[in-house]
């Protein structure tokens, strides 16, 4: 032990020497002066003193002031300086993978090292760090999983939790755990970092922990609303408004002669103003106007206006998701409205992009080129691009919501909060006075919520419940009651019920062996179960592909004006399977073949597929395979074909889908020449128009499993597969004898199957064997 002590001491001295040499070297001159100009730099000594003197510290500051890149680095430098370099262990959590990577890379560059030396990162299924790493950036999810192995966070000296103002579910969850852990780890330092929103709420949560505010510098930003933008750009809103049905404006529109839709829109608001419910009515009609999709034409008009009339400077466009980003990206690239595309450096920025091209995003563009960044709300606070002068804000973000009563999860673009709008606007004033073009009317802004609802109140909780169980944090309900804003008990109860239904929890709410496997798979428990079943039933390839697409995103793109062709392409992949999942599987397999023969581009183009998404799905497949191998469900030495004997058997694939997607089941009931669909929770539902099953009137099999239920204009099931009662009986959730004794029931009695005693016995036996395999 003495020897290791002395070697540690030696290492401490070496690290200090190395750091001092590096900081004095010419190569870091520019970097150092950049760092010294950040607002965080002025607070360095105040910050370090506060860290030393307090166990918990809340730091707030305008986005871009240097919290993420500087504060963890200050601690690291100080530890090395004080000869604790060899023993300190600093962890900083990030809500998103992409920021964990980008920040770790940036700090390594600022220190003149390569990534993975002193500073590294670890995200789900991917890491770049080494034994030398002293400052690790990881996603909050990774830290939560580390807590399973090591609930005391042994050896961690400093923990920084970043972007807590976003109120992500993982962050809120982590804070509960940490608040309980702190008394047991008096030497652990906890630093909470937040944008300027609501910092005192976190301080209160941690027994009035001290707060530090980093005053920022930003230039004034001029704000325009839709009214002004329309005047400037002379753009005509029509399509979405024309499509809208169901509120007063439509009825009125039928009476009023054809008018400019915008005039009509504002007329509506005025008319509604005479009613008591002014604000709700105004909001409704406006929500209707913008529908669930953005009017990209308006975004294009705004970009064009800036390029033609305004000064230099990068343009940052906030959009809701990948679909819009890639559409707009293509339009600009295709020389459709801006003229010569070589004059523009168009860069997409999206949270699920594998990595971001550091230089392109952060650096000044080449001379005579204008940088246009198309981003989701990731550019709102976690990634700062300094040279942005013009911000175009669509005012929306994809937001999940959860309706506990109907067990309905939605992911829909919805209006952002005032706090987010302010944040987006501020992105324009980093280096000089800027302009923000808000593509929504002022009335909408006035109606926006102050803050967004925390995620824990808007999401199904099954993954969280599973984590609480595997971390042995007691009963789910009483644990979650300690949250900053505790979730609805009904949502908790639904989650537990679901976990029991899929066999992850037993009657006493304890983890089953299957539940334990599912905890180690960092995916939605249903998708995890699909993977396990795929490996057991020799359908591994299809299970990997479908699980990856469900966990990530649909590879089918929806082109605006060639929707029918796109639908036809998807249907031809489905063949007569009546399954969106099979269509997806066949599309993926087709892409693999096309890639092998060098026809990838045409194949994707002809079939309306996104090559980027397919590539990522392919990569995720490999990661999932490794996971299955880690928990012993796949023995790689046997070769993957050993797990694919039934991979081409579509009935088998459908059965695996049933096992994974249960209890998402609908009954198909024949109504004359058509079929109606019923779920247990909400009754009648419709097939989503984008589904291959949308045009089919009668189905060969009596049930449908689906990936999700969404509520837009009506309740739709998205991505469905027609399945037989045998699949359901053998692979679905638990069975109960029916009251009459002449059959069995599922889904709490919602589904009834009549069968003779001996058949029932047989089914029970088979299921028993199956559960033995899953729970091994």
Q: Minimum distance between the CB of residue 375 and ligand ADP, rounded to whole angstroms?
A: 14
Q: Minimum distance between the CB of residue 66 and ligand ADP, rounded to whole angstroms?
A: 4
Nearer to ligand ADP, 66 or 141 (CB): 66
Report d(CA 776, CA 773) in Å as an integer.
5
Nearer to ligand ADP, 217 or 605 (CB): 217
**From ligand ADP, Mg ion, none, interface partner of 396 (C-beta below 5 to 8 A by class):** none
Nearer to ligand ADP, 179 or 213 (CB): 213
Q: Minimum distance between the CB of residue 567 and ligand ADP, rounded to whole angstroms?
A: 41
- Which residue stretches of 521-664 are H helix? 525-536, 540-551, 563-574, 580-596, 600-607, 611-630, 650-661
Does residue 61 bind ligand ADP (CB under 6 A)? Answer: yes
Q: Which of 15, 38, 492, 666 binds ligand ADP (CB under 6 A)?
A: 38
Nearer to Mg ion, 229 or 378 (CB): 378
Q: Which of 194, 290, 384, 512 binds ligand ADP (CB under 6 A)?
A: 384
Residues that bind Mg ion (CB under 5 A): 67-68
**From Mg ion, ligand ADP, none, interface partner of 386 (C-beta below 5 to 8 A by class):** ligand ADP
Using the contact rule CB under 6 A, the part of the chain among 64-72, 204-212, 367-375, 401-409 near ligand ADP is 64-72
Quote the tokens at residue 678.
């019923």
Report d(CA 565, CA 722) in Å as an integer.
23
- Residue 25: phi, psi to the nearest 5? -75, 155
End-to-end CA distance of the chain: 41
Nearer to ligand ADP, 391 or 464 (CB): 391
Q: How far is CA 512 from CA 175, 259, 283, 525, in A?
A: 27, 63, 47, 13
Q: How far is CA 391 from CA 224, 323, 422, 423, 506, in A?
A: 10, 20, 11, 11, 52
Report d(CA 502, CA 660) in Å as an integer.
9
**From ligand ADP, Mg ion, none, interface partner of 64 (C-beta below 5 to 8 A by class):** ligand ADP
Nearer to ligand ADP, 129 or 746 (CB): 129
Q: Which of 64, 85, 120, 261 binds ligand ADP (CB under 6 A)?
A: 64
Q: Which of 242, 310, 386, 565 binds ligand ADP (CB under 6 A)?
A: 386
Contact status, residue 216 vs residue 62, Cβ threshold 8 Å: yes
Q: Which of 70, 579, 679, 721 binds ligand ADP (CB under 6 A)?
A: 70
Report d(CA 753, CA 733) in Å as an integer.
14
Q: Minimum distance between the CB of residue 379 and Mg ion, rounded to whole angstroms?
A: 12
Nearer to ligand ADP, 48 or 558 (CB): 48
Positions in 92-131 near ligand ADP (CB under 6 A): 102, 106
Does residue 67 bind ligand ADP (CB under 6 A)? Answer: yes
- Give me the residue whose beta carbon is nearest to Mg ion: 68
Nearer to ligand ADP, 105 or 627 (CB): 105
Report d(CA 271, CA 249) in Å as an integer.
10
Quote the tokens at residue 558.
């929806």
Quote the tokens at residue 95.
């809500």
Q: How far is CA 52 from CA 45, 47, 157, in A?
A: 11, 9, 11
Q: How far is CA 560 from CA 292, 346, 557, 566, 607, in A?
A: 14, 21, 9, 10, 14
Q: Which of 362, 451, 678, 750 binds ligand ADP (CB under 6 A)?
A: 362
CA torsion 353-463-160-62 (nearest 10°) is 60
Q: Minimum distance between the CB of residue 336 and ligand ADP, rounded to whole angstroms?
A: 31
Nearer to ligand ADP, 388 or 744 (CB): 388
Q: Minimum distance between the CB of residue 382 and Mg ion, rounded to whole angstroms?
A: 6
Quote the tokens at residue 529.
């179960």
Report d(CA 296, CA 319) in Å as an integer.
9
Does residue 73 bind ligand ADP (CB under 6 A)? Answer: no
Does residue 280 bind ligand ADP (CB under 6 A)? Answer: no
Nearer to ligand ADP, 138 or 457 (CB): 138
Positions in 652-711 near ligand ADP (CB under 6 A): none
Q: Minimum distance between the CB of residue 121 and Mg ion, rounded to whole angstroms?
A: 14
Q: How far is CA 229 from CA 224, 235, 435, in A?
A: 7, 8, 12
Does residue 180 bind ligand ADP (CB under 6 A)? Answer: no
Contact status, residue 724 vs residue 701, Cβ threshold 8 Å: yes
Which residues form the interface with ligand ADP (CB under 6 A)? 38, 61, 63-70, 102, 106, 358, 362, 384, 386
């Amino acid at each position: 032990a003495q020897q290791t002590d002395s070697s540690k001491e030696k290492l401490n001295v070496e690290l200090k020497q190395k750091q001092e040499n590096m900081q004095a070297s010419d190569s870091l001159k520019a970097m150092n002066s950049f760092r010294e100009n950040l607002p965080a730099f002025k607070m360095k000594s105040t910050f370090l003193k506060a860290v030393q003197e307090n166990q918990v510290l809340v730091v707030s500051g305008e986005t871009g002031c240097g919290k993420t890149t500087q504060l963890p680095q200050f601690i690291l430098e100080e530890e090395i300086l004080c000869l604790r370099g060899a023993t300190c262990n600093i962890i900083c959590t990030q809500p998103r993978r992409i920021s964990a990577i980008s920040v770790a890379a940036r700090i390594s560059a600022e220190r003149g090292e390569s990534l993975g030396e002193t500073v590294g990162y670890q995200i789900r299924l991917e890491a770049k760090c080494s034994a030398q790493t002293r400052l690790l950036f990881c996603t909050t999810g990774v830290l939560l999983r580390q807590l399973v192995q090591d609930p005391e966070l042994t050896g961690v000296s400093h923990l920084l939790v970043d972007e807590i103002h976003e109120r992500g579910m993982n962050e809120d969850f982590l804070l509960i755990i940490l608040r309980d852990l702190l008394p047991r780890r008096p030497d652990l330092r906890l630093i909470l970092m937040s944008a300027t929103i609501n910092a005192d709420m976190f301080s209160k949560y941690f027994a009035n922990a001290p707060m530090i505010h980093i005053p920022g510098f930003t230039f004034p930003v001029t704000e325009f609303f839709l009214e002004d933008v329309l005047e400037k750009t002379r753009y005509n809103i029509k399509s979405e408004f024309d499509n809208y049905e169901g509120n007063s404006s439509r009825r009125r529109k039928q009476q009023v002669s054809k008018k400019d839709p915008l005039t009509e829109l504002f007329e509506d608001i005025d008319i509604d103003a005479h009613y008591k419910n002014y604000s709700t009515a105004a909001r409704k009609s406006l929500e209707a106007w913008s529908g669930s999709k953005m009017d990209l034409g308006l975004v294009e008009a705004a970009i064009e206006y800036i390029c033609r009339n305004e000064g230099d400077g990068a343009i940052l466009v906030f959009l809701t998701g990948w679909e819009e980003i890639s559409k707009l990206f293509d339009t600009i690239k295709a020389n459709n409205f801006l003229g010569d595309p070589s004059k523009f450096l168009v860069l997409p920025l999206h949270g699920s992009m594998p990595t971001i091209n550091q230089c392109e995003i952060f650096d000044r563009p080449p001379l005579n080129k204008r940088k246009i960044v198309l981003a989701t709300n990731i550019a709102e606070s976690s990634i700062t691009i300094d040279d942005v002068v013009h911000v175009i804000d669509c005012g929306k973000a994809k937001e999940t919501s959860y309706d506990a009563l109907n067990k309905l999860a939605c992911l829909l673009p919805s209006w952002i909060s005032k706090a987010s709008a302010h944040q987006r606007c501020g992105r324009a004033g980093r280096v000089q006075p800027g302009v923000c073009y808000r593509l929504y009317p002022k009335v909408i802004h006035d109606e926006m919520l102050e803050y967004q609802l925390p995620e824990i109140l808007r999401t199904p909780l099954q993954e969280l419940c599973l984590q609480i169980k595997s971390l042995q944090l007691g009963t789910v309900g009483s644990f979650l009651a300690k949250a900053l804003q505790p979730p609805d008990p009904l949502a908790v109860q639904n989650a537990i019920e679901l976990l029991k239904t899929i066999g992850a929890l037993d009657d006493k709410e304890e983890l089953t062996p299957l539940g334990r496997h599912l905890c180690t798979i960092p995916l939605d428990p249903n998708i995890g179960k699909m993977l396990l079943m795929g490996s057991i039933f020799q359908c591994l390839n299809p299970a990997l592909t479908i699980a990856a697409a469900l966990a990530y995103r649909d590879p089918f793109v929806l082109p605006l004006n060639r929707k029918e062709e796109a639908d036809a392409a998807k249907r031809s992949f489905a063949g007569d399977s009546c399954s969106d999942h099979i269509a997806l599987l066949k599309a993926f397999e087709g892409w693999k073949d096309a890639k092998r023969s060098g026809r990838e581009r045409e194949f994707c183009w002809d079939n309306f597929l996104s090559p980027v998404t397919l590539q990522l799905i392919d990569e995720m497949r490999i990661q999932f395979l490794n996971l299955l191998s880690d928990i012993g469900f796949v023995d790689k030495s046997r070769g993957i074909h050993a797990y694919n004997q039934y991979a081409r058997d579509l009935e088998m694939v459908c059965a695996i889908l049933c096992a994974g997607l249960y209890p998402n089941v609908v009954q198909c009931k024949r109504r004359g020449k058509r079929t109606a669909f019923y779920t247990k929770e909400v009754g009648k539902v419709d097939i989503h128009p984008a589904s291959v099953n949308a045009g089919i009137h009668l189905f060969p099999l009596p049930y449908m499993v689906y990936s999700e239920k969404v509520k837009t204009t009506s309740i739709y099931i998205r991505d469905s597969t027609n399945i037989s009662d045998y699949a359901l009986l053998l692979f679905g959730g638990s069975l109960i004898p029916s009251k009459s004794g002449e059959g069995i029931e599922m889904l709490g009695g919602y589904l009834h199957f009549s069968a003779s005693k001996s058949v029932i016995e047989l089914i029970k036996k088979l299921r028993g064997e199956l559960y033995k395999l899953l729970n091994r």
